[in-house]
């Protein structure tokens, strides 16, 4: 079994599930997942998790994500991007000046309460929002609080007088669960005009950058996937490692707590537990008992190894 991560450069036009299915077929194994859905029309970094790395999907998803894209002012769609049907148009007769755009964008920095788009996979009463939308059934969309670390314009705003539209590129770093197309739509609301996300690329996800990523075409043409697989430690390189003795491994493999001969750590600190040449688990420090306790179990058999051994 292959264990580790493949930072995939997902092409626009593919679903995240289709990417997982393609890698599953190439890897000849069922244990394949991804670390954060990308909409079909969006391209960029999609971390693929293989083998025991699938147990770290939630950890990958929790890491900040960085996007670049384009926002167009002057019209809106029901999906908040260009894949949907136009639902509002307000021709701009004069363009917004740079200071207006920048001030409005900066106002979203920090905690931001967002209502997910109707065409999204968020579940309400066991149904996806897009199922409600397609069936025409009414539904109250839940709000969520997300974090916007930065949201900045990266180009001069282009004004198309004939169309009554104004477009500009941007970069945004956000927390998990943030819909950039909704951020674009809400920016329009802040400015008093309809707006749409007209292009989006995910540049960073799960600690991987677009430069780290490989296309599905490259993987398909390769004789093996292993040269493209990153070890578990590559994402969580800030975690220190404890090399286990045989006795300690016997406790870890059963998920038992450990007392380690090392200085007391800050409450909640984590350690890689390494045995048999690879990381077997992630343990978290419990200050109250001065012990290390299982946070995430990875390998349960020393006959299984991840790639990229140190």
The catalytic residue among 39, 43, 81, 186 is: 39
In angstroms, rounded to a whole number, what is the distance separating the alpha carbons of residues 189 and 206?
31
How far are the Cα atoms of 170, 184, 237, 265 from residue 252, in angstroms, in the given order?
Answer: 46, 47, 21, 19
**Are 196 and 72 contacting, i.e. CB atoms less than 8 angstroms apart?**
yes
| 3-state DSSP assignment of residue 96 | coil
User: Which residues, in sequence order, are bridge partners of residue 85?
Assistant: none
169: phi then psi, degrees, rounded to nearest 5: -95, 160
Query: Is residue 39 annotated as part of the catalytic site, yes or no?
Result: yes
DSSP-derived letter for residue 81 is B
User: Which residues, in sequence order, are bridge partners of residue 258?
Assistant: 292
User: Which residues, in sequence order, are bridge partners of residue 65?
Assistant: 174
* Cβ neighbours around 210 below 10 Å, total: 17
In angstroms, rounded to a whole number, what is the distance separating the alpha carbons of residues 14 and 215?
12
Point out the residues that are catalytic: 39
């Amino acid at each position: 079994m292959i264990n580790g991560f493949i930072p995939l450069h997902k092409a626009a036009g593919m679903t995240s599930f289709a990417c997982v299915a393609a890698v599953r077929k190439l890897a000849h194994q069922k244990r394949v997942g991804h670390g954060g859905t990308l909409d079909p029309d969006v391209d960029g970094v999609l971390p693929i998790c293989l083998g025991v790395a699938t147990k770290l999907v939630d950890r990958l998803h929790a890491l900040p994500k960085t996007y670049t894209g384009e926002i167009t002012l002057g019209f809106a769609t029901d999906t908040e991007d260009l894949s949907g049907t136009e639902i509002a148009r307000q021709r701009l007769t004069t363009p917004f000046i740079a200071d207006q755009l920048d001030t409005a964008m900066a106002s979203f920095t920090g905690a931001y309460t967002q209502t997910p788009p109707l065409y999204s996979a968020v579940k309400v009463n066991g149904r996806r929002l897009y199922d409600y939308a397609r069936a025409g059934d009414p539904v109250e969309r839940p709000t969520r609080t997300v974090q916007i670390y930065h949201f900045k314009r990266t180009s001069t705003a282009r004004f198309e007088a004939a169309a009554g539209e104004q477009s500009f590129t941007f970069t945004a770093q956000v927390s998990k669960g943030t819909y950039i197309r909704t951020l674009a739509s809400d920016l329009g609301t802040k400015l008093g005009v309809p707006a749409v996300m007209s292009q989006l690329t995910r540049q960073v996800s799960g600690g991987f950058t677009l430069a780290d990523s490989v296309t599905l075409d490259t993987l398909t043409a390769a004789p093996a996937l292993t040269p493209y697989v990153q070890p578990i430690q590559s994402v969580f390189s800030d975690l220190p490692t404890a090399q286990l003795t045989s006795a300690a491994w016997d406790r870890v493999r059963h998920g038992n707590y450990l007392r380690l001969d090392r200085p007391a750590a800050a409450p909640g600190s984590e350690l890689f537990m390494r045995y048999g040449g690879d990381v077997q688990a992630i343990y978290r420090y419990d200050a109250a008992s001065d012990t290390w306790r299982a946070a995430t179990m990875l390998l349960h058999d020393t006959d299984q190894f991840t790639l990229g051994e140190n």
